Amino acid sequence: MRLVRLSKSVMFAMFVLCVIGCGGPTLVPVKGVCKRNGKPVSHLSLIFAPASGKPLWVAADDDGRFELHADADRKGAPLGTYTVIVAFQFRTPQEEMNHITGKFHFHPDKDAIVQKYGATGAAPLVVEVTHANQELELDLN
């Protein structure tokens, strides 16, 4: 009886260790900026698609800056190669209404950027996450 209790305890401990230790790949902090002709590009939605695994999604701020998050609770990205897919997005319904009425405009090269780096883009944008605290500069020329 004691042996059965001990083996159940050992199995439970192994399970807990596996769950803690098997939480997925190691994440490293990654920040970056999106630029075209040396100037920041805002209102971008970026999808970082790895060769295998879960894609990461992030929105660039007004200065074209972004920080990758594996999910809502964990900052960072696994090491590896990512294809980046670019799209423009409204941040608020008011912004969308201002666009419709001509009061708001996306980057003047929006169509060229999306044509080249969008989901059906002609030239995929590929980045390599190689180390922690990496600063990516996405050149959208």
- Residue-wise pLDDT tens digits, 34-60: 999 999 999 999 999 998 889 999 999
Q: Which of 1-15, 20-34, 43-57 has the lowest mean pLDDT?
A: 1-15
DSSP annotation of 119: T
pLDDT band at residue 30 using 50, 70 and 90 as cut-offs: very high
> Quick check: 119 pLDDT over 90?
no
> pTM above the 0.85 mark?
no
CATH number, span 25-139: 2.60.40.1120
What is the average pLDDT score of the chain? 83
Q: Counting every residue, how long is the chain?
A: 141
Give CA separation, 95 vs 13, 42, 49, 111, 131, in Å.
53, 13, 28, 18, 37
- Nearest one of 83, 69, 85, 65 to 136, comparing CA atoms: 65
